[in-house]
Amino acid sequence: MTVVSDIAVAPRDRLNPARSLHWVLAVALGLACLVNLQVGATDATLSSVLAKLAQGETLSQIERVVLFDIRLPRLVMGVLVGAALAVSGAAMQGLFRNPLADPGIVGVGAGAGLGAILAIVLGALLPVWMIDRAGNHLVPFAAFLGGWGSTILLYRVSTRQGRTSVATMLLAGIALGALAGALSGILVYIADDRQLRDLTFWGLGSLAGASWAKGMSAAPLILLSLGTAMVLGRGLNGLALGEATAAHIGINVQRMKSTAILAVAGATGAAVAVSGGIGFIGIVVPHLLRLASGPDHRTLLLNSALLGATLLILADVIARVVIAPAELPIGIVTAVLGAPVFLWILLRRRGMVEL
Amino acid sequence: MSLIAEDIRVFYGKRAALRGVSLTALPGEVTAIVGPNGSGKSTLLGAITASLPYQGAVSLNGQDVSAMKPWQLAAQRAVLPQASHLAFPFKVIEVVRLGLQSGTAGDRPEVPVQALARVGLAHYADRTFQELSGGEAQRVMLARVLAQVWAPVENGQPRWLLLDEPVSSLDIAHQLQVMDIARGFARAGGGVIAVMHDLNLTALYADRVALLATGKRMAFGRPHEVLTDEILSDAYGCALRVSAPPPAGIPFVLPHAASA
């Protein structure tokens, strides 16, 4: 027998550093908010306004409008959408046990997109009183309905005898995405020029057009979904071992999965509804955090919310300044920054992607 | 206070994988389930652990398993699966802690370290699980399972280790190590059920053996009662001869005799 020199060294802990990261990221988010309010196409900046207020001067009409009616609601919406996209990405990756899974992949995003395109192209066919009443809520509302409906359909298809097969769900998501894409393609043929421009901008994702009304229409659903996602940490950790083992270590797997699906659908639907298809936040943010502080979902979910919000409002700053006074759709910025990261993950995992 | 499976039937589509198998495992003993490939060994363990739909009844320490909540079951028995995939780059110690989360030793942070030391991998605590070899990964999963039911007896009730081919990817030294751990758990008052491939290890470590073939129980009893020329040759469909070395009298199966 060999002598086992197995004197236990206290293993390095990653949970407490990951918890400290909550505070670091919260501070970063606060700073990013200040930057976001400061930068823009007009001279009305946060610092100039604060200086004026400090000297007891009153704000001009333009300053008030720019800061409180344009930039602030846009900031709030950016924070909510960024957190929603990153958390739904992290939760979905935990659910599918795959770091490349994203709400876009299982058709929730595509379903929401179809709903939005339907509203843009065929919305004019609705009775006038309906259009008047819906106003600019029509597209977001249709997008939310589309995402919600596709989630329910997906669940019906992939769940049998109370058990959801992750593989079936992924494949069904591909089919749903293809179907939604085809229907969207038909609608694009019908669309006129103005509608086509709307479609392009919506499809690329943008925070432009943010208003308090729009933000408030999405906020309750996003906050509810985020709160729900935060209790999933332990369950998703167990699920990393597989469904059977997760059950063996005492997790109510079916209930946990249903909760996760609801949280993901709610967050994604509401985010897509107000901002279109902003991609890659849901993949890049959790991945960076796993590299920084490990894959433990008990801290990953909250950290994702904070970092997702921070990155999205910084991307929004970039979108506003690169071609000022015009602005880029923010989806272009996140895609340019995020797609290479996605490919890098893929490259590193090429040999071991399991589907 | 035992684990009783009664008249278990499992169907894969229309094919019957188990056709009415019963098994009683006692605390303090290692109960081995053996049999040829496709005989239903792992299926039987799957039914006992409620991992797959089955007909029949399973009771654990006198309670009907189907009426118990997942966390109640997790506090009384831990299950080692045949193969383990882990989705994200958890460290070894974090994997073992997943077992602790669900067990009743949750307030004892030293248990995962001790469990890793038990399987001889304490110095691997900070490694990433995906870096491990197949055998090391299997031992880490055993440590996770041990951490879940760290005390073999708690509140006067035995706890259970349910192991599906625990030594399948291990070298001979670690096969013995793992079986020693299983036997130690049983000797300390816990119960162990293990699906086994190796008849000699079974003879060496099992207190009771259930032999399955074609979804039925062919024999159940002490190793020397079950591991006989006639029963094994019949179950495995080839001529096998069982011998015993003089001092201990433990039977061993000599495959060299199969062609004789």
Phi, psi of A126, deg, nearest 5: -70, 155
pLDDT classification of B105: cutoffs 50, 70, 90: low
Average pLDDT along chain B: 90
CB contact under 8 A, B125 and A11: yes
Contacts of A249 in chain B (CB under 8 A): 74, 78, 98-99, 101-102, 148
Of the ranges A263-267, B47-51, B154-158, B162-166, which is most confident? B162-166
Coil, helix or strand at residue A152:
helix
Could you tell me the two tokens for A83? 């957190």
Q: How far apart are CA B2 and CA B158, in angstroms?
A: 8
**pLDDT value, residue B99:** 81
CB contact under 8 A, A6 and B49: no
Q: Is the peptide bond before A220 cis (omega within 30 degrees of 0)?
A: no
Helix H or strand E segment including B158: strand B157-158
CB contact under 8 A, A248 and B73: yes
Tens digit of each residue's pLDDT (9 = 90 or more) over A82-92: 999 999 999 98
**pLDDT value, residue A2:** 42
CB contact under 8 A, B84 and A242: yes
Chosen from A14, A234, A245, A289 to mutate, greatest number of chain B CBs within 10 A: A245
CB contact under 8 A, B117 and A6: yes
CA distance B87 to chain A (A): 5
Helix H or strand E segment including A293: helix A281-293
Where does residue B164 rank: exposed (0-12), middle (13-18), buried (19+ CB within 10 A)?
buried
DSSP B15-35: EEEEEEEEEEE-TTSEEEEE-
A301 forms bridges with which residues in the sheet? none
More confident residue, B177 or A243: B177
CA distance A280 to chain B (A): 19
Q: Which residue has the tokens 């001869």?
A: B241
CB contact under 8 A, A252 and B94: no
Mean pLDDT value of segment B38-52: 92
User: Domains in chain A, please, with CATH?
Assistant: 62-348 (1.10.3470.10)
Tens digit of each residue's pLDDT (9 = 90 or more) over A241-295: 888 899 999 999 889 988 888 888 888 888 887 887 788 899 899 999 998 889 9
CB contact under 8 A, B102 and A354: no
Q: How far apart are CA A253 and CA A258, in angstroms?
A: 9
Chosen from A249, A293, A353 to mutate, greatest number of chain B CBs within 10 A: A249
Which sign, positive or negative, has the C-alpha torsion A150, A154, A155, A161?
positive
CA distance A53 to chain B (A): 51
Contact B238, B258 (CB under 8 A): yes
CB contact under 8 A, A250 and B73: yes
% of residues, chain B, pLDDT over 90 = 71
**pLDDT value, residue A264:** 85
Phi, psi of A325, deg, nearest 5: -80, -5
**pLDDT value, residue A41:** 65
Mean pLDDT value of segment B11-33: 93
Is the complex ipTM more than 0.95? Answer: no
Tens-digit pLDDT profile for chain A (355 aa)?
A: 444 444 445 677 888 888 889 999 999 999 999 998 888 767 677 778 888 888 878 778 788 888 888 889 999 999 999 999 999 999 988 887 877 777 876 778 888 888 878 887 887 787 777 777 766 667 767 777 787 788 778 777 876 654 556 677 778 888 888 898 889 889 888 888 888 877 776 666 778 777 787 787 778 888 999 999 999 999 999 988 888 899 999 999 889 988 888 888 888 888 887 887 788 899 899 999 998 889 999 999 999 999 999 999 999 999 888 887 788 888 888 888 888 887 887 777 655 444 3
**Does A99 contact chain B (CB < 8 Å)?**
yes
More confident residue, A258 or B34: B34
Assign residue B201 the CATH number of its domain: 3.40.50.300
Phi, psi of A106, deg, nearest 5: -95, 20
CB contact under 8 A, A97 and B87: yes
Domain that holds residue B203: 3-259
DSSP A49-64: HHHHHHTTPPPPHHHH
Query: Scanning every residue of chain B, which has its alpha carbon at the shortest distance from the alpha carbon of A3?
Result: B120
∠ CA B209-B25-B253, rounded to 5°: 10
CA-based nearest residue to B257, from B243, B244, B246: B243
Contact B24, B30 (CB under 8 A): no
CA-based nearest residue to A240, from A256, A224, A258, A225: A256
Maximum CA extent, chain A: 87
pLDDT classification of B86: cutoffs 50, 70, 90: confident
CA-based nearest residue to A308, from A328, A329, A278, A336: A278
CA-based nearest residue to B89, from A241, A290, A166: A290
B154 forms bridges with which residues in the sheet? B157
Where does residue A287 rank: exposed (0-12), middle (13-18), buried (19+ CB within 10 A)?
buried
**Does A4 contact chain B (CB < 8 Å)?**
yes
CB contact under 8 A, B51 and A247: yes
CA distance B232 to chain A (A): 32
Tens digit of each residue's pLDDT (9 = 90 or more) over B110-121: 899 999 999 999
Contacts of A251 in chain B (CB under 8 A): 70-71, 102
Contacts of B71 in chain A (CB under 8 A): 250-252
The minimal CB distance from B88 to the residues A8, A249, A290 is found for A290
Instruction: Please count the structural domains in chain B.
Output: 1
CA distance A244 to chain B (A): 6
Could you tell me the two tokens for A11? 């293993």
Question: Distance of CA A277 to CAs A85, A199, A201, A335, Å?
Answer: 10, 11, 10, 10
Cβ atoms within 10 Å, residue B13:
6
